[in-house]
Amino acid sequence: MIKYFRLLPPSPDKLYLTIAALRVILTCLPQIGYVHPDEFFQSIEIVTEKTFEVEVNKPWEFNASFPIRSVTPPYLTVGISYQILKALNLFLSTQFHMTILTPYFVLVFPRLLICCLSFVVDWCLYRICLANSEKYKSRCLILSISYVMLVYATRTFSNTIELVLFSLLLYFVSESIIFSTINVRQREYINLRYKKAETVVERAKFHKLKLFLENDSLRNCFVIATITTAGFFNRPTFVAYAIGPLFFWLYRGIGFKSVNALNFHLRILVFIICTIPTILIFVIIDSFYFGYLTWGEIGVLEVSLRNFVATPWNFIKYNINPKNLAEHGLHPRYLHAAVNIPLLFNILGLLGYSNFLDLFS
């Protein structure tokens, strides 16, 4: 009877769910060792000091005299996970006389939160594929089985937060472009019919249709500005990745009669204005944390620009000095292109190079 049975490959849905479960399981089974010390020094080491009142060895990036890293992203990720851990521990200790404030949970809880955030990347890819009428199952499956998602995306790296923010940026930019394309084409068609209308009744009808169209020029502007600003404070190099999607968001619709250069410059202006609230939040939190700003100074109204610190600006000033970079070790300029991209993305990285070269052929 065996010949009547054959082994069927699992469906993409089941395979994806299996790999997703594996991502969570691997997070709960921390391996001995680490990928890079920054997964502890730039996140867990910073938050545990004030959360659990323990002595830590802060890395040089968080030196109060010249901080080049913002503490806001670690506190919004690792900090939230530790607050949940403390709340659970309080409940278990009072109700069942047991504690979960152990090294295992102190290590795993932040990783579990980061693991949950990694599924935001999957969701963004899924939504982008749906919006562009692309097959999402194979793409989500390829993403989920990559060791980038299984290893790096489940650890407390600032790069992982950068990955999540960039995925959200791509999604909102993609959604804006698709919405604007449809909206502008409808507006162009209605304008054309309006001009060709021979009676007042027809013109009134098409005029009403124009009023029903949503304004797409500033679509998702505040969200995109907030994501970009948060990514910039998390890792200032985020701008290098964000500049491409941002350009397409600013440039969308240009070429149609109803979209002109004024719309382009207006989007830039409003985008800059929308970044201000997030900038203020990050600067104020960092200024309090590093001791530049205190409630006492606010109470007596003795506050000046010296009471505020902008960590991305310090980051840029530090890294434009070649002597500072030499202290940490320099690598060849071709390292990322020749080694890291193929290492991270395997054959997809090589195919990306091939597609890039095709643009010039």
d(CA 122, CA 165): 12
Backbone angles phi, psi at 17, to 5 degrees: -65, -35
Q: Which residues contact 186 (CB under 8 A, 6 or more apart)?
A: 213
The answer to whether 329 and 322 are in contact (CB under 8 A) is no
The pLDDT, as a whole number, for residue 5 is: 43
pLDDT at 258 over 90: no
Q: Which residues pair with 256 in a beta bridge?
A: 254
Q: Return the SS3 of 254.
A: strand
pLDDT confidence tier of residue 4, bands split at 50, 70 and 90: very low
pLDDT confidence tier of residue 341, bands split at 50, 70 and 90: confident
Element holding 344 (H helix, E strand):
helix 341-345
pLDDT at 281 over 80: yes
d(CA 309, CA 185): 46
Q: What is the rounded average pLDDT of the residues 152-166?
A: 95
Which tokens in the block code for residue 110?
């932040």
d(CA 54, CA 211): 61
Backbone angles phi, psi at 294, to 5 degrees: -130, 160
Tokens 């102190």: give the residue: 106
The answer to whether 153 and 114 are in contact (CB under 8 A) is yes
More confident residue, 252 or 361: 252
Instruction: Kindly give the residue spans of alpha helices, DSSP state H, lying in 199-237.
Output: 200-212, 221-234
pTM of the model: 0.91
The pLDDT, as a whole number, for residue 6 is: 52
Which tokens in the block code for residue 347?
């054959």
The answer to whether 245 and 173 are in contact (CB under 8 A) is yes
pLDDT in tens, 170-218: 999 999 999 999 888 888 888 778 778 778 878 887 778 777 778 888 9
Element holding 147 (H helix, E strand):
helix 147-150
pLDDT at 346 over 90: no
* DSSP at 220: T
pLDDT at 160 over 50: yes
Average pLDDT along the chain: 89
* 334-338 LR contacts (CB < 8 Å, sep 24+): none
Q: What is the rounded average pLDDT of the residues 259-277?
A: 94
Element holding 335 (H helix, E strand):
helix 335-335
Beta strands in the chain (DSSP E): none
More confident residue, 343 or 166: 166
Q: By mean pLDDT, which of 29-43, 200-214, 267-281 is the weakest?
A: 200-214
pLDDT confidence tier of residue 327, bands split at 50, 70 and 90: confident
